[in-house]
């Protein structure tokens, strides 16, 4: 007989090809499918094949037993930063992890005090912030560090004996704004999360030159499934403590992933990286135009404002095109904005998941074109429907 096809919620019919009108617009997670078409176009040049007998060792070669990352891959990472102009890599160590996610905690480990008399190091951020900083720091429950929420709460403290680690996401998730640390001083260390500092999402005003910056392939090329990120680290001791963490945790990262990343970065670097960043920027720009357009006449919903700036990569002034919309329900009574959207069959991420007010919802703009079209259609319907008078 015919194979039984289990369709998901959005499709029906014998071969799951009929789009269902009940399909919710999923704008919840940041799965970066928006570059799928680019990679389909470059299917052959970006493909890797790994035979069964290849890359079986823990290390690269017997002479280089502790090598965490192939020299060739490291060279390409430095090159992509140089071409884009978003980070200075000279004089910095590079350490790779299973996504930025693994490196966030490796960095907290490396920057927290190892002197029990001044435990625990306080880990802070400024809302709205990426919730993983909190959930991960709490989940690992180390006696060395503790998540303490808002950075500003540490501002007026005269206590300079405890160490503080401040997470700064720039451009930020969810707002897509450039952020600066709010804390400084000899006892403060900063972890810069630079996941979104690529021309896909923002003008590049100049190269980041920080003690510790974290990047990820997930948002750069969309290969979130490969689980690959890297940190640029100035200080040798911090680098060594992060390396120690990686060794204890996973003995470094997958060689298969490293091979694939090298192939992907080679395609990114073709033609001075114009094609991929051009493609990514065009898609994001188009999505922002459509989104701003659909909400232009709404006084119920507003979007974040992100100022245009000079971009040293494109040699011109351009507007940011952030990965997420930080939508606000302006009416006082819409105190659960995500429910308001849910009633229009739109799934977003509510404000309190960023330690922010629930008048806000984050909408992901980096999913597939179908997801985005569905989002726009549902928003359009919502803003053009008069509320029922009871």
- Residue 324: CB minimum distance to ligand PMP, A: 9
Under the binding rule (CB under 6 A), the answer on residue 195 touching ligand PMP is: yes
Nearer to ligand PMP, 107 or 295 (CB): 107
Beta strand residue intervals within the chain, DSSP E = 11-12, 18-19, 25-26, 93-97, 121-125, 145-150, 164-169, 188-193, 212-216, 229-233, 301-302, 309-311, 316-318, 324-329, 346-347, 349-350, 360-364
Closest CA to 204 of 317, 107, 299, 351: 317
Furthest C-alpha separation in the chain? 78
Which residue shows structure tokens 């245009």?
308
Under the binding rule (CB under 6 A), the answer on residue 273 touching ligand PMP is: no
Site for ligand PMP in 317-356 (CB under 6 A): none
Closest CA to 235 of 256, 210, 253: 210
Closest CA to 379 of 300, 323, 324: 300
Nearer to ligand PMP, 224 or 265 (CB): 224
Among 27, 38, 60, 99, binds ligand PMP (CB under 6 A): 99
Any bridge partners for residue 150, and if so which? 125
Under the binding rule (CB under 6 A), the answer on residue 218 touching ligand PMP is: yes
Nearer to ligand PMP, 101 or 345 (CB): 101
Among 26, 27, 28, 30, binds ligand PMP (CB under 6 A): 30
Say if residue 76 is preceded by a cis peptide, omega within 30 of 0: no
Contacts of 32 (CB under 8 A, 6+ apart): 218, 219, 222, 224, 323, 366, 367
Among 229, 320, 348, 351, binds ligand PMP (CB under 6 A): 229
3-state secondary structure of 309: strand
Region of 93-101, 276-284, 327-335, 343-351 interacting with ligand PMP (CB under 6 A): 93-101
Under the binding rule (CB under 6 A), the answer on residue 32 touching ligand PMP is: no
CB 176 within 8 A of CB 320: yes
- Residue 225: CB minimum distance to ligand PMP, A: 9
- Residue 132: CB minimum distance to ligand PMP, A: 7
Nearer to ligand PMP, 165 or 382 (CB): 165
- Residue 73: CB minimum distance to ligand PMP, A: 16
Under the binding rule (CB under 6 A), the answer on residue 216 touching ligand PMP is: yes
Nearer to ligand PMP, 107 or 337 (CB): 107
d(C-alpha 334, C-alpha 47), whole Å: 48
Provide the mask over 285-324, with x wherever binding to ligand PMP is found by CB under 6 A and - wherever it is not.
----------------------------------------
Under the binding rule (CB under 6 A), the answer on residue 254 touching ligand PMP is: no
Under the binding rule (CB under 6 A), the answer on residue 169 touching ligand PMP is: yes
Any bridge partners for residue 361, and if so which? 327, 350
b/e 103-120 (16+ beta carbons within 10 angstroms → b): bbbbbbbbbbbeeeeebb
Contacts with ligand PMP, residue ranges (CB under 6 A): 30, 99-101, 130, 169, 173, 193, 195, 216, 218, 224, 229
């Amino acid at each position: 007989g015919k194979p039984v096809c289990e369709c998901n919620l959005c499709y029906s019919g014998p071969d799951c090809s009929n789009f269902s009108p009940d399909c919710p617009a999923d704008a919840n997670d940041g799965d970066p499918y928006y570059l799928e078409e680019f990679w389909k176009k470059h299917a052959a040049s970006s493909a890797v094949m790994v035979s069964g007998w290849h890359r079986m060792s823990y290390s690269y070669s017997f002479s280089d037993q502790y090598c965490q990352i192939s020299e060739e891959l490291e060279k390409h990472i430095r090159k992509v930063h140089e071409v884009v102009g978003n980070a200075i890599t000279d004089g910095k160590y590079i350490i790779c992890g299973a996504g930025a996610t693994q490196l966030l905690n490796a960095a907290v480990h490396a920057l927290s005090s190892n002197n029990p008399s001044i435990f625990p190091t306080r880990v802070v951020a400024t809302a709205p912030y990426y919730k993983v900083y909190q959930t991960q720091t709490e989940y690992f429950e180390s006696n060395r560090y503790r998540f303490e929420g808002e950075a500003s709460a540490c501002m007026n403290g005269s206590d300079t004996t405890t160490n503080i680690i401040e997470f700064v996401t720039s451009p930020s998730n969810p707002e897509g704004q450039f952020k600066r640390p709010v804390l400084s001083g000899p006892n403060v260390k900063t972890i810069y999360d630079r996941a979104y500092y690529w021309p896909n999402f923002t003008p590049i005003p100049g190269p980041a030159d920080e003690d510790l910056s974290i990047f990820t392939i997930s948002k750069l090329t969309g290969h979130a499934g490969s689980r690959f990120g890297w940190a640029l680290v100035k200080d040798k001791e911090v680098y060594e403590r992060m390396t120690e963490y990686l060794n204890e945790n996973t003995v470094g990262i997958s060689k298969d992933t490293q091979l694939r990343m090298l192939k992907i970065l080679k395609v990114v670097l073709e033609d001075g990286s114009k094609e991929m960043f051009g493609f990514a920027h065009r898609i994001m720009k188009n999505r922002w135009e459509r989104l701003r357009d659909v909400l232009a006449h709404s006084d119920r919903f507003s979007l974040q404002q992100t100022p245009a700036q000079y971009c040293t990569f494109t040699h011109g002034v351009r507007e940011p095109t952030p990965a997420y919309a930080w939508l606000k329900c302006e009416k006082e009574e819409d105190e659960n904005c995500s429910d308001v959207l849910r009633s229009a069959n739109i799934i977003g991420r509510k404000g309190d998941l960023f330690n922010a007010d629930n008048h806000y919802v984050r909408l992901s703009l980096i999913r597939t074109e179908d997801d985005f079209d569905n989002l726009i259609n549902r928003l359009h319907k919502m803003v053009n429907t008069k509320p029922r008078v009871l």
